């Protein structure tokens, strides 16, 4: 993946918009309110807590600006990885693209497992694709 360069002033503005209580830290509720998963549904609360836990070096259950920058880079790196395997540029990963991605990461899995994986991560009525998580949305 290519190195990500993000304007720190831009990130500071996003951080300030997400930090609704002006505590100079973003808690799980604030982060959840600004995340977009492309479905207009609230972002999964457990996923948000996990994201905070991964980058919260002070163990206070919130992210300061430096930790938020690290989270942003992490999301951007994975978004770029996702896009590199989204060969048809649909914004979704289909079964063949998922197989290519996981094989690239040295996973050798059966077609049955891929079918199970896709059925686990899509909702009834949706096609069998995986869509990426996007960045926090500034409000």
pLDDT tens digit sequence for 29-62: 999 988 876 667 778 889 999 999 999 999 999 9
In a domain, 91, yes or no: yes
How many domains, the chain? 1
Segment 100-120 mean pLDDT: 90
138 within some domain: no
Residue 135 resides in a domain: no
- Is residue 26 situated within a structural domain? yes
Position 100 pLDDT exceeds 80: yes
The answer to whether position 127 is within a domain reads no
- Domain membership of residue 134 (yes or no) is no
Check: pTM over 0.75? Answer yes or no.
no
Range of the domain at 50: 8-120
Average pLDDT of the chain, as a whole number: 84
Query: What CATH number does the domain containing 60 carry?
Result: 1.10.238.10
CA dihedral (109, 113, 114, 116) in degrees, to 10, reads -170
Output 51 or 130, whichever has higher pLDDT.
Answer: 51
At residue 117 the predicted structure's pLDDT band, cuts being 50, 70 and 90, is: confident
- Specify if 55 maps to a domain: yes
**Assigned domain for 49 exists:** yes
């Amino acid at each position: 993946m290519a190195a990500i360069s993000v304007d720190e002033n831009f990130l500071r503005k996003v951080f300030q918009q997400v930090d609704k209580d002006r505590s100079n830290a973003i808690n799980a509720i604030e982060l959840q309110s600004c995340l977009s998963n492309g479905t207009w549904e609230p972002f999964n609360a457990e996923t948000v807590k996990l994201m905070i836990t991964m980058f919260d070096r002070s163990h206070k259950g919130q992210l300061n600006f430096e930790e938020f920058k690290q989270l942003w880079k992490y999301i951007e790196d994975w978004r770029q990885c996702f896009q590199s395997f989204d060969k048809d540029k649909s914004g979704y990963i289909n079964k063949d693209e998922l197989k290519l991605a996981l094989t690239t990461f040295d996973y050798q899995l059966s077609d049955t497992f891929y079918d199970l994986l896709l059925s686990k991560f899509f909702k009834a009525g949706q096609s069998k694709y995986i869509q990426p998580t996007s960045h926090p949305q500034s409000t």
